[in-house]
A and B are shown apart, each in its own frame.
Chain A
Amino acid sequence: MKTNCSAPTQLAFVKTACGLFLALLLMALPLAASSQTIRDIATDATDPFNLADTEPSIAVDPSNPLRIAIVSFSEPWGPGSGAPVWMSTDGGLTWGKVSIIPQPGAGLGGPGDQKLAFDAAGRLLIAELGIAGSPLDFIYRQTGAPGTPLTAGASYGDDQPHLDVDKTPGSPCFNRVYSPWLNTFASPNRSNVEVSPDFGATVTAVIVGSPAFNNRTTRVGVATTGQAYIIYKTREGGAGGGFENAHFRVMRTDDCGANWTALGPTGVSVHGAAAVQTWFTTSWGNPAKGKVARARSSDGWVAVDPSDGDVYAAFTNRDGSGFGQIFVARSTDQGATWATHRVTDGTHHSAYPEVAVAGNGTVGVLYIDFDDSGPSTIFRHRFARSFDNGVTWTDKNLQSMDPGPLSNASSGFLWGDYEGLTAAGNTFFGVFTGASIGRTTPQLDPIFFSATAVPPAHIQVPTNVVFGDVCTGGIGRATLNVCSTGSPSLSVNAIISSNPQFAVSTPSGGFPVVISPGACFPFEVTFTPSGSGPQTAVLTIASDDAATPSLAVQASAQGGAGALGLSANLRYVPTVIQSIGACHAPLPLVVSNTGTCNLTITNMAIGGSHPGDFAFAGLPAFPITLEAGHIAGAGNLNVVFAPTALARERTANIAVTFVSNPTTGTTSTQTRELCGEGVHTGARVLVTRGGVPVPQVHEIELKRLWGLFGLTREVDEVKNVALQTVAASPGSACGPLQFHHEYGAGANATQLRPGVYQLKVEVKIAGKEERKTVWFSVDTCGFNGTLVVDF
Chain B
Amino acid sequence: MKTILIVEDVALNRELLVQLLEDDYRLVLAADGVAALERAAEAKPDLILMDLSLPNMDGWEATRRLKADGALSRIPVIVLSAHAMRGHEERARASGCDDFLTKPIDETLLFEKIARHLGD
A binds B: no
Give A residues with C-beta under 8 Å from B: none
